[in-house]
């Protein structure tokens, strides 16, 4: 069975940042996981190099557009190669085969009657490469996605009949509830489509940097609009429009994208595919954005995280682990050096690295580095059962893109391993002439390490290869079948000494991000990009884009209980229209009882990073007002569907 996994193709108007790295890491992890299980897997990444924004950026840089695109594209490819990303193809939209495929797709859609010529006049955002109707603009002028000023554009264009596919798209969403992952992201897409789809402009005449029109159309002044060009990469990479040698991998199993481009992938792309008569991808996985120390990253603040800088300081595999462990897929994540160091020291160094060192030390002392599993089942049946229970749970987490839960569950194996040593004290057994029992304890921990290394391999391939080499086996599909599927134990082997895998980090290895200065912020005022400075310290104004980063939703309280030993906290389960309720721990016990809240509605800040209060995870915050008369929750005037956005 074949698998096809993709990242977006990254836009070449700047170098790779930490968000690009996250998308690529999770896609690479999924590809490695499928290969480990023996699946024939094709993994695609690449760069998007056409459009007005690239043309303008090249002009500002004083370089020919192709040269500019070549240089930026190379920075992505070189970085992924340096990071050991296991892609099967790195596609560029300037590749000739890609251009041929795009032209063929245009011809097919045109012949079907899904593309027609007309004139377009409307508001255009150069940054987003998107037209917006005036009703969607902020203050009738600013882009609803990025907050920048739009400009009025009037030009001849070819249009794709997107409106024809409204009902078909809604039917597909209804019949395939896991088409958009996580499911919580599907609501915004469905709402957008139900609001009515307008036909989509798919060509431009005001710039020339793009895929030319097919000669059969006979209209040289047009170039393809960037989203039609870009989205088709997923099939042109497989040979669509040229040799079609790898089209057997289609449909894609999953397209990984950032939430900011979900609409294009979940609406435009499926409609294009329906027009072409091709199957739709099985899943679209939309992840959140990354902040730094709780603040949005920006060049002006000087707090943009360079993945290369982090990898050079801490190691790329430590970075992979941190990013995939730190944040639930779909939610926004925060890059904090302190949190990063804590995970390296506590989870990687203490839990994993130290366990390997203890096994090497004990086997060297007790059996001249020889380890034999012959008595493991005799003395450690309980631990084998515990280990297998954890291993059996892992696949579902990966299938649902829950890498944070996958790693959280996987780490239970190291807890079992360390617990075995503490409980059975092999050094005491050796003193009491119970050598067989002592060596069985060492061997069961070695087996736990081996099986954990196999399952950690997609996330940390180089590190786990070192562990496997120390335990005298190789991680591949054969060892996966033997150790994980068939639940066999390691054969007699000699363990090798290895240097410490995760040296402790005592202080930050990178310069901390500068603290935000509350002095001035810049706002775009009009389409001429006039800039006005506003004193933030005077009135604490924020940009409209900052406001839209906050996700406010209506939720229904489906369960509520007091938190023992707390005078202020209640533990709530709040339905936000997601697959399962969110747990929210709120300091409102002095003003509300659990019975007051059951089946009532509240307003929730839904994209806060989860935090712990009295040892309990809280996944959001309730909106409330408090004055001298007490506290009251902010509630909708009339009942609303759980998950309804507020804004």
- Within this chain, do residues 601 and 481 fall inside the same structural domain, yes or no? no
The yes-or-no verdict on residue 524 having pLDDT over 50 is no
Mean pLDDT of the residues in the chain: 90
pLDDT at 139 (0 to 100): 82
Residue pair 420/445 in contact by the 8 Å Cβ criterion: yes
Does 82 map to a domain?
no
The DSSP-derived string for 389-426 is: HHHHHHHHHHHTT-HHHHHHHHHHHHHHHHHHHHHH-H
Q: Is residue 138 part of a domain?
A: no
Per-residue pLDDT at 179 exceeds 70: yes
For residues 487 and 604, membership in a common domain is answered with: no
- For residues 483 and 599, state if they share a domain: no
Residue 620 lies in a domain: yes
Whether residues 486 and 600 fall in one domain: no
Per-residue model confidence (pLDDT) at position 516: 54
Total domains, the chain: 2
- Cα dihedral sign for 600, 606, 612, 613? negative
Binding-site positions: 125, 128, 143, 146
The mean pLDDT value for 326-332 works out to: 94
Task: Find residue 633's DSSP bridge partners.
Answer: 624
Q: Can you give the CATH number for the domain in which 560 is found?
A: 2.40.50.140
431 CB burial (10 A radius; 0-12, 13-18, 19+): exposed
Same domain, yes or no: 486 and 582 = no
Residue 184 has pLDDT above 60, yes or no: yes
| Residues annotated in a binding site for Zn(2+) | 125, 128, 143, 146
Token pair listed for 406: 């996958």
Q: Report the distance separating Cα 295 and Cα 224, nearest Å.
A: 37
Poorest-pLDDT segment among 2-16, 130-144, 170-184, 581-595: 130-144
Higher-pLDDT residue of 360, 529:
360
CA pair distance 138, 140, nearest whole angstrom:
5
Q: What is the pLDDT of residues 503-517, one digit of tens each?
A: 999 999 999 887 655
Tell me the β-bridge partners of 603: 554
Structure confidence at residue 607 (pLDDT): 87
Any bridge partners for residue 534, and if so which? 521
Domain boundary residue, one of 494, 515, 538: 494
Domain that holds residue 393: 331-494
Ranked by mean pLDDT, the top range of 47-61, 197-211, 392-406 is 392-406
Q: With a cut of 90, say whether residue 112 has pLDDT above it.
A: yes
Interior angle at CA 637, CA 636 and CA 643, nearest 5: 30
Task: Please give the Cα distance from 361 to 471 (Å, whole number).
Answer: 13
**Residue 193 pLDDT > 80, yes or no?**
yes
Tell me whether residue 570 is in a domain: yes
Same domain? 355 vs 458:
yes
pLDDT, position 533: 37
Local structure of residue 211 (DSSP, 8 states): P
pLDDT of residue 518: 46
Structure-token pair, residue 218: 């006979």
| pTM for this prediction | 0.78
- For residue 202, is pLDDT > 90? yes
Q: What does the pLDDT read at residue 608?
A: 84
Pair (467, 382) in one structural domain? yes
Number of other CB atoms surrounding residue 254 within 10 Å: 19
> What's the rounded mean pLDDT across residues 594-620?
84
How does pLDDT run across 383-416, given as a tens digit for each residue?
A: 999 999 999 999 999 999 999 999 999 999 999 9
Q: Which of 477, 494, 511 is at the close of a domain? A: 494
Nearest alpha carbon to residue 9 among 82, 83, 69, 96 = 69
> Model confidence at 546, in pLDDT bands (50, 70, 90)?
low
Q: End of a domain among 468, 494, 520?
A: 494
What pLDDT is attached to residue 120? Answer: 76
pLDDT the model gives residue 548: 56
The answer to whether position 446 is within a domain reads yes
Evaluate if residue 7 carries a pLDDT over 80.
Answer: yes
Residue burial 184-218, b: 16+ Cβ < 10 Å; e: rest: bbbbbbbeebeeebebbbbbbeebebbbbbbeebe
The per-residue pLDDT for 145 is 80
Tell me: do 487 and 584 sit in the same domain.
no
484 and 568 inside one domain: no
Tell me: do 479 and 627 sit in the same domain. no
Residue 368 has pLDDT above 60, yes or no: yes
φ, ψ for residue 203, nearest 5 deg: -140, 160
Is residue 419 domain-resident? yes
Q: What gap in Å lies between CA 325 and CA 307, rounded to an integer?
A: 16
Between 149 and 362, name the one with better pLDDT: 362
pLDDT, tens digit (0-9, with 9 covering 90-100), for 338-348:
999 999 999 99
**What number of H helices and E strands is found in the chain?**
24, 29
Higher pLDDT, 572 or 145: 572
- Segment 46-50 mean pLDDT: 96
Model confidence band, residue 525 (pLDDT cutoffs 50, 70, 90)? very low
Asked whether residue 402 is domain-assigned, the answer is yes
The reply to whether 569 and 467 lie within a common domain is no
pLDDT in tens, 114-152: 999 998 777 888 777 777 877 778 888 888 888 888 988
Residue 460 belongs to some domain of the structure: yes
Of the two residues 594 and 197, the one the predictor is more confident about is: 197
Task: Calculate what percentage of the chain has a pLDDT beyond 70.
Answer: 94
- Poorest-pLDDT segment among 203-212, 314-323, 470-479, 559-568: 559-568
**463 lies in the same domain as 581:** no
CA distances (Å), 318 to each of 211, 315, 338, 425, 535, in order? 40, 5, 14, 31, 40
What is the per-residue pLDDT for 517?
Answer: 53
**Angstrom distances, CA of residue 370 to CA of 49, 341, 366, 437, 438:** 56, 34, 9, 15, 13
Cα–Cα nearest to 339, from 527, 89, 512, 137: 512
622-644 tens-digit pLDDT? 999 887 667 889 988 888 888 88
| Whether residue 111 has pLDDT greater than 80 | yes
Is the predicted pLDDT of residue 579 greater than 80, yes or no? Answer: no
Q: What is the CATH number of the domain that holds 347?
A: 1.10.730.10
């Amino acid at each position: 069975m074949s698998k096809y996994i993709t990242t977006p193709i990254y836009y070449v108007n700047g170098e790779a940042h930490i968000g690009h790295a996250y998308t690529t890491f999770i896609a690479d992890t999924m590809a490695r996981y499928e290969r480990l299980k023996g699946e024939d897997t094709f993994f695609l990444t690449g760069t998007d190099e056409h459009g007005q924004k690239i043309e303008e950026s090249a002009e500002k840089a004083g370089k020919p557009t192709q040269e500019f695109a070549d240089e930026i594209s190379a920075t992505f490819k070189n970085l992924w190669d340096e990071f050991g990303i296991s892609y099967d193809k790195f596609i560029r939209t300037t590749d000739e085969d890609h251009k041929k495929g795009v032209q063929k797709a245009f011809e097919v859609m045109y012949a079907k009657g899904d593309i027609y010529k007309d004139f377009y006049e409307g508001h255009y955002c150069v940054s987003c490469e998107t037209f917006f109707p005036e009703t969607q603009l902020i203050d009738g002028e600013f882009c609803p996605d990025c907050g920048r000023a739009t400009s009025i554009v009037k030009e001849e264009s070819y249009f794709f009949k997107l409106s024809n596919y409204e009902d078909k798209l809604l039917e597909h969403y209804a019949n395939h509830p896991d088409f958009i992952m996580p499911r919580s992201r599907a609501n915004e897409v469905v709402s957008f489509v139900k609001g009515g789809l307008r036909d989509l402009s798919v060509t431009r005449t005001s710039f020339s940097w793009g895929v030319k029109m097919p000669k059969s159309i006979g209209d040289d002044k047009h170039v393809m609009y960037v989203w039609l060009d870009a989205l088709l990469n997923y099939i042109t990479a497989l040979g669509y429009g040229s040799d079609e040698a790898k089209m057997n991998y289609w449909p894609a199993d999953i397209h990984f994208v950032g939430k900011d481009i979900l609409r294009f992938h979940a609406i435009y792309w499926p409609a294009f595919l329906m027009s072409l008569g091709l199957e739709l991808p099985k899943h679209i996985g939309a992840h959140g954005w990354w902040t730094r120390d709780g603040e949005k990253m920006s060049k002006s603040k000087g707090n943009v995280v360079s993945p290369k800088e982090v990898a050079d300081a801490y190691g790329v595999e430590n970075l992979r682990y941190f990013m995939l462990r730190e944040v639930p897929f779909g939610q926004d994540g925060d890059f904090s050096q302190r949190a990063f160091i804590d995970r390296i020291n506590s989870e990687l160094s203490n839990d994993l690295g130290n366990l390997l060192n203890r096994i090497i030390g004990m086997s060297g002392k007790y059996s001249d580095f020889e380890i034999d599993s012959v008595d493991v089942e005799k003395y450690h049946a309980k631990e084998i059962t515990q280990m297998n229970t954890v291993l059996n749970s892992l696949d579902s987490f990966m299938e649902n893109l829950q890498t944070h839960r996958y790693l959280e569950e996987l780490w239970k194996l190291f807890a079992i391993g360390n617990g075995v040593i503490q409980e059975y004290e092999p050094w005491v057994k050796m003193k009491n002439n119970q050598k067989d029992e002592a060596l069985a304890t060492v061997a069961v921990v070695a087996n736990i390490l081996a099986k954990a290394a196999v399952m950690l391999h997609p996330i940390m391939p180089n590190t786990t290869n070192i562990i496997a080499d120390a335990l005298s086996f190789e991680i591949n599909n054969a060892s996966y079948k033997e150790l994980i599927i068939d639940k066999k134990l390691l054969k007699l082997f000699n363990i090798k000494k290895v240097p410490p895998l995760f040296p402790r980090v005592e202080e930050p290895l990178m310069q901390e991000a500068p603290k935000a200065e509350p002095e001035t912020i810049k706002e775009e005022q009009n389409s001429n990009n006039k800039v006005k400075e506003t004193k933030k310290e005077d009135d604490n104004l924020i940009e409209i884009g900052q406001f839209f980063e906050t996700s406010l939703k209506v939720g229904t309280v489906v369960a509520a209980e007091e938190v023992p030993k707390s005078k202020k906290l209640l533990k709530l389960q709040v339905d936000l229209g997601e697959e399962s309720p969110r747990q929210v721990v709120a300091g409102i016990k002095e003003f509300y009882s659990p019975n007051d809240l059951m089946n009532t509605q509240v307003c929730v800040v839904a994209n806060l990073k989860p935090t712990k209060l009295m040892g309990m995870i809280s996944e959001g915050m309730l909106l409330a007002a408090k004055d001298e008369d007490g506290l009251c929750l902010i509630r909708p005037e009339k009942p609303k569907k759980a998950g309804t956005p507020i804004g």
